[in-house]
Amino acid sequence: MTDDAAYTEMKQKIVEYLGSLEGKGADTTINIGKQVGLKRRDASKIIRQMENEGVVESTGVTAGVAGYKLKK
Please report the pLDDT score of residue 71 as a whole number.
Answer: 93
Residues forming beta bridges with residue 60, ordered by sequence position: 67
Please report the pLDDT score of residue 2 as a whole number.
Answer: 55
> Is the per-residue pLDDT at 34 higher than 50?
yes
**Dihedral angle sign, alpha carbons of residues 57, 29, 60, 3:** negative
Whole-angstrom CA distances from 12 to 45, 47, 61, 65 are: 15, 11, 24, 22
For residue 48, what is the DSSP state?
Answer: H
Please report the pLDDT score of residue 1 as a whole number.
Answer: 46
Is residue 65 within 8 Å of 28, Cβ to Cβ? yes
